[in-house]
Chain A
Amino acid sequence: MHIAEGFLPPAHAIAWSVASAPFVVQGVRSLTREVREHPESTLLLGASGAFTFVLSALKIPSVTGSCSHPTGTGLGAILFRPPIMAVLGTITLLFQALLLAHGGLTTLGANVFSLAVVGPWAGYGTYRLLKRYEVPLMVAVFCGAFVADLSTYCVTSVQLALAFPDPGTGFLGALAKFGSIFAVTQIPLAVSEGLLTVLVMRLLKQSSKGELVRLGVLSKRKQQQSATEVGTGAGA
């Protein structure tokens, strides 16, 4: 769940907007480049945005007795790298802020920073790290999506704690408070998001193998080896 409209003091709202802006600008650039160079990827880009749209519309009950929704940013970050996800996440947040009174325009910067910047980067980083250690693809995808989801709400908790430190215990006291509201609620939802992202990735593996190879999710080498058993393509 995003920070509601007007619930960050003006100075914080402006600071987070300034922090997010360069990432969104960079994202728009990568997105236009991707569409220009690979027009065929437009469909998959749309599908990644759609995944975020679906997941962030589903408010799901959690173990804490409250509801929250997943983010769906892990998939796009793994497929197209985080900058592009900054744009797709911002579009989703704008839609919710303008039509659903969910999140807000004054808190858009802060929400973009957590959902569309930190989440995708943290998830993508986790995914790449696990892949480097040759963890099976689907395990890496699950962990990437899980981290993207959970880190988003950890950042939200930090943002609110910075703006509203506890009078007695200060920043850390407030962080514990907001963390128990956002982050703990989010843990089972992050697991759900991980499972759903794995599901979509499995469907993509069946339907769009060529594109996954081009995007570097599936390695060309492995495919050739399994197809021919001849290791001549190892250098490619």
Chain B
Amino acid sequence: MTTDIKAPDQAPTAEQPPSRTTARAPKRRSWTGLWFVLPFTAVYAVFLLWPMVLGLYYSFTDKSLTGRPVSWIGLANWAEAFADEKAWDSLWNTAWFTILSTPPLVILGLVFALLAHRARKMGWFLRLSFFAPFVIPVSVVTMIWVWMYQPDGGLINHYLAEWGLGGDRLWIFQEDAMGSVVITTVWWTMGFNFLLYLAALQTIPPEVYEAADIDGANWLQKLWSITLPLLRRTTVLVIVLQMIASLRIFDQYYLMAGGGMNLSPENVFIQYMYNSGFVGFRVGYASALSYILFVFILLIAFVQLRLLSRKED
């Protein structure tokens, strides 16, 4: 931090010498580098570091969107957040979504990548159809899926009824629609994991299978004892990235609840935070909630990296 503050005073002196001193010896210490780094660092400081500091400060105040004077209220927001049942409910729902969505997202990503790796002649078509949903805006995704989920004659319930799976319950849209959000999310974002696995598969040299081929191993044995162990690093990465992404769920949940799906409107944590801040105007309280989410995500990422990378050794 001290160097940050020192930098601007020293900067003017850097203006004359750089071209001469640094051009000859790129590694010699000078202030030139600072000019390269400064534009990004400035934007970073204003739109990331400062909001972080500000958020922490607000979490100790009763700051409100209505703009009335701010007063320091110590740990009151934090105490309230930890005792807030709705906040815990929404956190649990976020965790539940993560638990439901991570396994299919990881496993399907792997299975589809294994298929696409073998079926190389269809590679272009498979990459298009598995990954294309990932580049589509979330509102388009939810528009299409809400339309397909419609209870009376929507595409999915139509076929479920036709195959005798739906009957009058029309389960895919009723009661707890979390399953529908999970299915939509799997369709939308599986492609990213698919590509990570596919790229990893392509780095495996074919020679590693030669010994197994000579021994007459079948594809399942090769998959189990060669391919999967070689993919372990990728799997660690995919699981960690996936869980972090799932814990941040907001967009599709918000839009599907707004699209008439049977979802409790405050059911995921970011939405609860958003509502506290922008609907309830309680910026201070919402800031405390933000920090709880932030710490929660960091903890999970840290624990996972620890657990999973230990297994690797």
Partners in one complex: no
Query: A-side interface residues toward B, CB under 8 Å?
Result: none
